[in-house]
Amino acid sequence: MQKFIIDGGTPLQGEVSVQTAKNAALPIIAACILTDEPVVIERCPHLKDIDAMLDIMRHLGCTAEFDGDDLKVCCRDVALNVINSDLTGKLRSSIFILGSILSRCRRAYISHPGGCEIGLRPIDLHISGLKSLAVKIADDCGVIYCDGTEMRGGVVNLDFASVGATENLMMAGALIDGDTTIVNAAREPEIVDLAQFINAMGGRVSGAGGSVIKVRGVAKLHGCRYRPMPDRICAGTYMTAVAAAGGKITVCGVVPEHVLGVTERLKQIGVKLTVHGDSVTASMQGRPRPLHKLETNVYPAFPTDMQPQFTAALAVASGSSVVVENLFENRFGYTVELAKMGAAITVKDRVAVVRGVPKLSGAVVRAHDLRGGAALVVASLAAEGRSVVYGVEHIDRGYEYLERELTALGAKIKRVDCVAGER
C-alpha cells in the first residue's frame, strides 16, 4: 500500500502530455477477442484497471504482454472459462467481455462486475440488449450464463444512453449474422474510438458518435495496430488543478472538442484558455468564481468523471456553487474527506451546495474511489500545508504516474510506501 504526501500552495507551471484514455483502451482490449490474429494497441497506459482486464483475458486463454508502451494481444485460443468474481470484482469494465465472447464463441459465463463504489450501476441495459440479439441469459448465484447459439442481428432500443451497454452491443454484433441497430446509443468519443478499432480489424460499424449505430456482422476480423484516443478526463483533471492551485500549464496531446464540456465551465470560473492544435494552455490567478449550477450528464455535457475534481476547485471559489450529479447516486462520498481540509460542502441526495472558503488546509485523507481520489489530489495541491492521501491504489486505476506528471509541473508531491499497520 502507498500514499501521496503533498505540500500544497504552489502554483503549477509547465507542460504535461496526456496519456492514452483508460476508458477507450479497456473496451478495445475486450474487442481483441473478436479476432484470432495478433493485435497491437499502441501507447496503452500502464494502469491497475488495464492489469485487471489483462488478467481476465489471460484467464480466457489469450496472451497479452507489454512491449514498452505497446500492448501485444493474441486471442487465437479462447477458452470458455467462467470469469469468476475474483477477476470481475476488481473491474466494472469486465462486463465488456460478454459481447466480444458471445460474438465469437456464442457462449459466455461471467460473475457480476465490480469497480468503484459510486452507485448501483446496474447491468440491466447490457442484459436486455443482448436478449434483443436472441441471447438466452440466466443468472444463478451471481454468475451470468449466456447462450448465444441462436444470435442474430436486431434492433436494440436503449432506455438510457449507456456507454458500456453501447460498446458491449457493438462488439456483440460484430461477428453475427445480420445487422444490429443500436437506438439511443451513447455518443462519447470512446464509442467512436471503439468503432474505429473494430473497423480497423475489418468490421462494419457506422453511425458512431450519433444516437443510432449500425453494426453489420462479418464472417471474420483480422489483427491490426491501433492507437486509442487521448484521455479527456486526465486532461480535464490537470486543467482543473490549475483552477484550484493557480499557475499556467499547457496540456499536450488533447482533442479539444472532447473536453469542451469541461473547458467551457473552466472559462466560467475564471480560467484563461488558449487552444493551439492539440494543446490547451490553461492559466489562473486568484480564486475561482462560483458557478450557479454545475450539472453532470452524458456527452457532450459535463462529464460525471470530472465532477469530483471540479467540486474540489469550487471548494475555494469566491462564493457558493451548486453541483448536481445526474448519473451516480453515491458520487459525493469524497466530500467527507474534503471537509477534513476545511471545505464547506452540504450534500443532499444528488445535490451538493459548495460554499467556497478562502483556503483549504492540509490534512490526512483517504481516497475511496478513482475520481474522488483525484479530487483529493486537486484539493491538496491548492491547500496550505501538508496533506497525506491514502488509497493511492484507487487513483492508480486511472492515472498513469500521476505524481511524476504533477512533479514536472512544479507540484510538491511524492509517493511513499505505507509502513506495516498504517491505515
> Over the stretch 337-347, which tens digit does the pLDDT of each residue have?
999 999 999 99
pLDDT at 357 > cutoff 90 = yes
Answer yes or no: 141 catalytic: no
CB 53 within 8 A of CB 29: yes
State how far the Cα of 357 lies from the Cα of 316, in Å rounded to an integer: 5
State how far the Cα of 381 lies from the Cα of 9, in Å rounded to an integer: 6
pLDDT at 329 > cutoff 90 = no
Write the CB contacts of 233 (distance below 8 Å, at least 6 apart in sequence): 21, 23, 303, 305, 306, 371, 398
Q: How confident is the model at residue 213 (pLDDT cuts 50, 70, 90)?
A: very high
State how far the Cα of 236 lies from the Cα of 304, in Å rounded to an integer: 12
Neighbours of 326 (CB within 10 A): 15
Neighbours of 293 (CB within 10 A): 9
pLDDT at 78 > cutoff 80 = yes
pLDDT at 371 > cutoff 80 = yes
Task: Given the residues 44, 116, 224, 234, select the one marked as catalytic.
Answer: 116
Q: What percent of the chain lies above the pLDDT cut of 90?
A: 88
Write the CB contacts of 239 (distance below 8 Å, at least 6 apart in sequence): 249, 251, 259, 262, 263, 266, 271, 273, 280, 282
Phi, psi of 48 (to 5 degrees): -65, -35
Mean pLDDT of the residues in the chain? 95
pLDDT in tens, 256-283: 999 999 999 999 999 999 999 999 999 9
pLDDT in tens, 125-174: 999 999 999 999 998 878 889 999 999 999 999 999 999 999 999 999 99
Lowest mean pLDDT among 36-50, 113-127, 409-423: 113-127
Q: Output the pLDDT for position 327.
A: 93
Q: Output the pLDDT for position 420.
A: 80
State how far the Cα of 106 lies from the Cα of 117, in Å rounded to an integer: 31
pLDDT at 120 > cutoff 70 = no
State how far the Cα of 186 lies from the Cα of 23, in Å rounded to an integer: 14
Three cell numbers, residue 383: 491547500
Q: Between 91 and 1, where is the model more confident? A: 1
Q: Output the pLDDT for position 103.
A: 97
Q: Output the pLDDT for position 305.
A: 97
Q: Output the pLDDT for position 94.
A: 80
Three cell numbers, residue 263: 473547458
Sign of CA dihedral 382, 384, 386, 389: negative
Write the CB contacts of 171 (distance below 8 Å, at least 6 apart in sequence): 27, 30, 31, 34, 96, 99, 100, 103, 194, 198
Three cell numbers, residue 180: 444490429
Lowest mean pLDDT among 16-30, 52-66, 138-152, 398-412: 138-152
Q: Which whole number is the average pLDDT over 232-240?
A: 98
The single-letter code of the amino acid at 129 is: G
Looking at the domain that runs over 22-226, which CATH code has it been given? Answer: 3.65.10.10
- Please give the C-alpha separations between residue 188 and each of 1, 92, 101, 149, in angstroms, as whole numbers: 34, 18, 23, 31
pLDDT at 423 > cutoff 70 = no
Write the CB contacts of 131 (distance below 8 Å, at least 6 apart in sequence): 137
State how far the Cα of 140 lies from the Cα of 399, in Å rounded to an integer: 35
Q: Between 44 and 79, where is the model more confident? A: 44
Neighbours of 224 (CB within 10 A): 18
State how far the Cα of 184 lies from the Cα of 419, in Å rounded to an integer: 50
Q: Under CATH, what is the fold of the domain 2-19+230-417?
A: UDP-n-acetylglucosamine1-carboxyvinyl-transferase; Chain (3.65.10)
Q: Output the pLDDT for position 123.
A: 85
- For the chain, residues classed under CATH 3.65.10.10 are 2-19+230-417, 22-226
Q: What percent of the chain lies above the pLDDT cut of 70?
A: 97
- Please give the C-alpha separations between residue 166 and each of 80, 156, 227, 261, in angstroms, as whole numbers: 23, 10, 21, 21
Q: How confident is the model at residue 122 (pLDDT cuts 50, 70, 90)?
A: low
Q: How confident is the model at residue 90 (pLDDT cuts 50, 70, 90)?
A: confident
